[in-house]
Amino acid sequence: MITILFVDDESNILQGLQRMLRPMRREWNLCFANSGAEALTILAEKQVDVIVSDMKMPGMDGAQLLEEVSHKYPHIVRIILSGYSEKEYMVRSNGTAHEYLAKPCDTERLKDAVYAIGALQDVGQTPTSARSDV
């Protein structure tokens, strides 16, 4: 079972993701954090395979969070899920995120991204740069 941690400072976004991904609960163990700090606490306590983070959050933004995750937990697949497509945010996440998905993102697109990146890791390839869906 894949464990995925979703990080967003907006609780209604996290609740929407939880509802949207409910059918995946047999394949995915879903965790949710309201901040980068909370995400790091969860990562220290739990084995996580994928982290999906919003980009624009107070305190620690998505790029900062994924930078730290890439150093502490390099095996974790890192995905940005953001409503912001400005180049500044994409450039800041380049190298730390394996994928950059735009909000709103449907279930199939998110599933495809998780499975595609996971498949690359399974065959021994390490995804090194962010791909963009924007």
Average pLDDT rounded to a whole number, residues 22-50: 94
Check residue 92 and report its DSSP letter. Answer: H
Q: Which two tokens stand for residue 79?
A: 């995905």
Which pLDDT score, from 0 to 100, does residue 129 have?
42
**What is the third-level CATH fold of 2-132?**
Rossmann fold (3.40.50)
Q: What is the pLDDT of residues 100-118, one digit of tens each?
A: 888 888 888 888 888 887 6
| Bridge partners, 4 (sequence order) | 30, 50
Which pLDDT score, from 0 to 100, does residue 89 have?
53
Q: What is the pLDDT of residues 50-80, one digit of tens each?
A: 999 998 899 999 989 999 999 999 999 999 8
When comparing pLDDT for 100 and 128, which is higher? 100
Write the CA distances from 103 to 2, 15, 45, 100, integer angstroms: 22, 14, 29, 10
Environment class of residue 72 by beta-carbon count within 10 Å: exposed (0-12), middle (13-18) or buried (19+)? Answer: exposed
Query: What's the rounded Cα separation, in Å, for the pair 52 and 99?
Result: 9
Average pLDDT rounded to a whole number, residues 32-54: 96
Ordered DSSP codes for 31-75: EEESSHHHHHHHHHHS--SEEEE-S--SSS-HHHHHHHHHHH-TT
Three-state DSSP at 126 gives coil
Average pLDDT rounded to a whole number, residues 15-24: 91
